[in-house]
């Protein structure tokens, strides 16, 4: 097994940043081209947002498969072709005469080309105490964590059909679900939500924002604000459903991005700097789908290969 020191001394053909579907596909295609590849991922759990999907039914060749199972299959493929994976967060990229440096929280790695495939992350509510209670009562994934709140009172913050689906995942477990939204809900997209509102299993707080999350070690209560009125809810679990934003903070000011903070790419996944490519949900490509992310990852790796060989 290679040591950190040996990994640092090596100049790679390609560094892939992110181990979601796009990053995994890039690693696979680069390795098949006999390129030396290092894959850097903040968390060693390969799969990115994919692992949070309970069911995927639109990935070709798999009529029905869980996101976790598909992510494990992708991971097995990486291991089989000996792609090196390091659990490190990239915080900065540098360009030194077309030799790139990926600076992590621990080390610096050098490469002739880079594929950025960092995907997206959940948007935060910005309320006081949110960061403190992540994983200790606050979650962004009902698919992952709903079973932890059996017979408990939980809350959901968000709007639209995505928030309603989160509520439906919680209903088989939770005693009561508070649906807190900064909009006004008088109609519901899903009939089961409508039925449970009438029965009292779901309690709605319209035109309401989150003021703070409080507790000792774990979340115990949430303060919400409706107009000028502050209300305290005793809640043990809280699910935030506000959508996603691209993980691109580390390239702001280095690469061209759009007003959504997505990396701007061309038809063959090139960014504004030669030798750096991007793929998947962190880019300005409009369709955020697993199959598209994997295809873009493959394309980015092939574009990297052509770049390195002057093709």
Q: Which of 46-50, 153-157, 188-192, 215-219 has the lowest mean pLDDT?
A: 188-192
Last residue of a domain, one of 241, 256, 282: 241
Does residue 255 share a domain with residue 107? Answer: yes
Query: If pLDDT is split at 50, 70 and 90, which confidence band does 4 have?
Result: low
Q: How far apart are CA 143 and CA 186, in angstroms?
A: 26
Tell me, what's the pLDDT at 53? 64
pLDDT at 300 over 80: yes
Least confident segment among 23-37, 198-212, 290-304: 198-212
pLDDT at 261: 96
- Name which residue leads in pLDDT, 53 or 221: 221
For residue 75, being part of any structural domain is answered with: yes
Q: Cα–Cα distance between 308 and 311 in angstroms, integer?
A: 8
The pLDDT score that the predictor gives to residue 82 is 76
Across 90-104, 174-188, 274-288, least confident range: 174-188
293 pLDDT band, cuts 50/70/90, is very high
- Average pLDDT for residues 67-91, to the nearest whole number? 84
Residue 133 lies in a domain: no
- CATH code of the domain containing 166: 3.50.50.60
Residues 208 and 280 in one domain: no
Domain count of the chain? Answer: 2
pLDDT of res. 95 = 93
**What confidence category does residue 50 fall into, taking pLDDT thresholds of 50, 70 and 90?**
low
In a shared domain, residues 109 and 12: yes
Mean pLDDT to the nearest integer, 96-124: 92
* pTM, 2 dp: 0.79
Longest CA–CA separation in the chain, Å:
66
Query: Same structural domain for residues 237 and 249?
Result: no
| The pLDDT value given to residue 57 | 76
- Residue 223 shares a structural domain with residue 261: no
Residue 158 backbone zone (phi > 0: left; psi -120 to 50: alpha; other: beta): left
In a domain, 132, yes or no: no
Average pLDDT over every residue of 57-67? 80
**pLDDT value at position 54?**
61
Do residues 37 and 12 touch, judged by C-beta distance below 8 A? Answer: yes
Q: Are residues 103 and 146 both part of a single domain?
A: no
On whether both 113 and 45 belong to a single domain, the answer is: yes
The residue segments making up the domain with residue 110 are 4-122+244-308
Residue 128 lies in a domain: no
* pLDDT for 280: 95
Give the mean pLDDT of 224-234. Answer: 94
CA–CA separation, 201 vs 198, rounded Å?
8
Neighbours of 126 (CB within 10 A): 10
* Cα separation, 85 vs 16, whole angstroms: 9
pLDDT of residue 282: 96
Q: What's the pLDDT score for residue 96?
A: 85
Q: Are residues 15 and 45 both part of a single domain?
A: yes
Looking at residue 192, its pLDDT comes to 60
176 and 274 together in one domain: no
Q: Please tell me whether residues 225 and 290 are part of one structural domain.
A: no
In-domain check, residue 228: yes
My answer on whether 96 and 10 are in the same domain is yes
- What's the confidence (pLDDT) of residue 72? 81
Task: Examine residue 127 and state whether it is found in any structural domain, yes or no.
Answer: no
Of the residues 241, 266, 282, the one at which a domain ends: 241
117 and 200 part of one domain:
no
At which of 194, 218, 241 does a domain end? Answer: 241
In sequence order, what E strands does the chain have? 11-12, 14-17, 37-41, 84-87, 90-96, 99-104, 108-111, 114-116, 120-122, 138-139, 153-158, 176-180, 202-205, 208-215, 219-226, 229-234, 237-241, 244-246, 276-278
286 lies in some domain = yes
Q: How confident is the model at residue 3 (pLDDT cuts 50, 70, 90)?
A: low
- Model confidence pLDDT, tens digit, residues 152-202: 999 999 887 778 888 888 988 999 999 998 887 655 555 666 666 555 678
Residue 54 lies in a domain: yes
Contact predicate 93/252, CB 8 Å: no
- Residue 105 — pLDDT band, cuts 50, 70, 90? very high
């Amino acid at each position: 097994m290679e040591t950190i020191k040996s990994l640092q001394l090596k100049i790679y053909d390609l560094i892939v940043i992110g181990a979601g579907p796009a990053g995994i596909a890039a690693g696979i295609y680069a390795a098949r081209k006999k390129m030396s590849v290092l894959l850097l991922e903040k968390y060693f759990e390969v799969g990115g947002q994919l692992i949070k999907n309970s069911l995927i039914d639109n990935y070709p060749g798999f009529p029905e498969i869980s996101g976790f199972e598909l992510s494990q299959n992708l991971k097995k493929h990486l291991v089989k072709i000996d792609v090196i994976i390091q659990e490190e967060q990239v915080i900065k990229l540098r360009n030194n005469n077309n030799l790139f440096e990926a600076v992590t929280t621990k080390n610096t790695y050098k490469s002739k080309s880079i594929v950025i495939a960092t995907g997206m992350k959940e948007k935060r509510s910005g309320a006081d105490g949110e960061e403190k209670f992540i994983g200790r009562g606050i979650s962004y994934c009902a698919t992952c964590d709903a079973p932890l709140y059996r017979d408990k009172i939980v809350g959901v913050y968000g709007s639209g059909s995505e928030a309603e689906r989160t509520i439906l995942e919680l209903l088989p477990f939770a005693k009561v679900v508070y649906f807190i939204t900064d909009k006004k809900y008088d109609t519901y997209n899903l009939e089961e939500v409508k039925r449970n509102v009438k029965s009292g299993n779901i309690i709605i707080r319209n035109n309401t924002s989150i003021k703070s999350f409080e507790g000792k070690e774990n979340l115990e209560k949430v303060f919400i604000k409706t107009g000028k009125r502050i209300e305290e809810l005793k809640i043990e679990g809280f699910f935030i459903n506000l959508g996603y934003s691209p993980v691109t903070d580390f390239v702001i000011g280095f690469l061209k991005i759009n007003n959504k903070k997505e990396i701007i790419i061309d038809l063959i996944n090139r960014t504004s700097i030669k030798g750096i490519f991007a793929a998947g949900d962190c880019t300005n490509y409009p369709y955020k789908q697993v199959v598209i992310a994997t295809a873009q990852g493959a394309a980015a790796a092939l574009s990297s290969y052509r770049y390195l060989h002057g093709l």
